[in-house]
């Protein structure tokens, strides 16, 4: 009989609070994006700074196992002064580091988020994105987002319904 090796070594994706020790690493994730991708999302350092001036920001580092792979920031309330004008939860910033893209981590992160929103009774989540070359629009559509028809400047607004169990 031969020893068997675990055929599914894919690490679980989870969110961890950003700390004094990890904040620089989160900021440096932005340097790993391609120039096109860099145009699609604010620098993490800017997002973290803005998040600290918003009463409605929730931000986390995204990990695959113990490896930091991305950053997410939600807006969880009414925030006209934050230039976010939708009812409920808005995904303000989201990125997966260049080296870790294409491994399913973006999908797993959002599926984890949707499960959490479902469990807490949130019926839908909004986001917005640029369109055209390098845009994450196709990614969002694969994850079940649809267009609302509303614009945020050059960005289209998208909504993802969170069906109750
Ligand atoms: C968009 C982004 C988060 C995707 O993360 P990722 O971890 O590479 O995505 P995944 O590997 O989980 O891909 C999931 C699916 O979406 C597809 N996909 C990924 N990016 C895509 C894109 N830009 N357009 C179309 N489809 C895309 C993948 O092919 C995969 O399809 P499959 O499930 O049929 O195989 C990442 O490319 C990124 O950080 N981009 C730069 C920043 C950005 O645009 N953030 C959003 C700001 S609004």
pLDDT digits over 105-115, tens only? Answer: 999 999 999 99
Higher pLDDT residue, 3 or 83? Answer: 83
Alpha carbon nearest to ligand 1 atom 36, residue? 96
Statement: residue 7 has pLDDT above 80: no
* Alpha-carbon span 54 to 132, nearest angstrom: 30
For the residues 75-80, what does the mean pLDDT come to? 82
* Ligand 1 center–CA 105 separation, angstroms: 9
Residue 77 · residue 122 · CB < 8 Å: no
Which domains does the chain show, CATH number per domain? Answer: 13-161 (3.40.630.30)
The whole-number pLDDT of residue 164 equals: 83
The region of weakest confidence among 49-58, 79-88, 152-161 is: 79-88
Q: Are 30 and 38 in contact (CB under 8 A)?
A: yes
- Pocket of ligand 1 from Cβ distances under 6 Å: 33, 37, 40-41, 94-96, 101-107, 129, 136, 138-139, 142
Cα–Cα nearest to 127, from 113, 140, 109, 114: 140
Q: What is the DSSP string of 63-116?
A: EETTEEEEEEEEE-S-BGGGTB-SSSEEEEEEEE-GGGTTSSHHHHHHHHHHHH
CA angle 7, 67, 46 (to 5 degrees): 140
Q: What is the pLDDT of residues 19-50, one digit of tens each?
A: 999 999 999 999 999 999 999 999 999 999 99
State residue 35 phi and psi, 5-degree precision: -55, -40
Does residue 131 surpass a pLDDT of 80? yes
Angle CA(134)–CA(135)–CA(137) in degrees, nearest 5? 145
pTM equals: 0.95
């Amino acid at each position: 009989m031969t020893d068997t090796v675990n055929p599914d070594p894919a690490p679980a994706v989870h969110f961890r609070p950003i700390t004094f020790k990890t904040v620089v690493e989160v900021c440096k994730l932005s340097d790993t994006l391609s120039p096109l991708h860099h145009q699609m999302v604010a620098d993490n350092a800017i997002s973290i700074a803005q998040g600290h001036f918003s009463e409605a920001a929730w931000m986390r580092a995204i990990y695959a196992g113990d490896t930091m792979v991305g950053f997410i920031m939600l807006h969880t309330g009414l925030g006209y002064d934050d230039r976010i004008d939708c009812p409920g939860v808005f995904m303000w910033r989201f990125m997966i580091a260049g080296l870790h893209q294409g491994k399913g981590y973006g999908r797993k992160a959002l599926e984890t988020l949707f499960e959490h929103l479902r469990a807490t009774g949130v019926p839908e989540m909004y986001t917005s994105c640029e369109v055209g070359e390098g845009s994450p629009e196709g990614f969002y559509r694969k994850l079940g987002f649809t267009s609302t028809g509303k614009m945020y400047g050059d960005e289209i607004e998208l909504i993802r319904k969170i069906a109750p169990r």
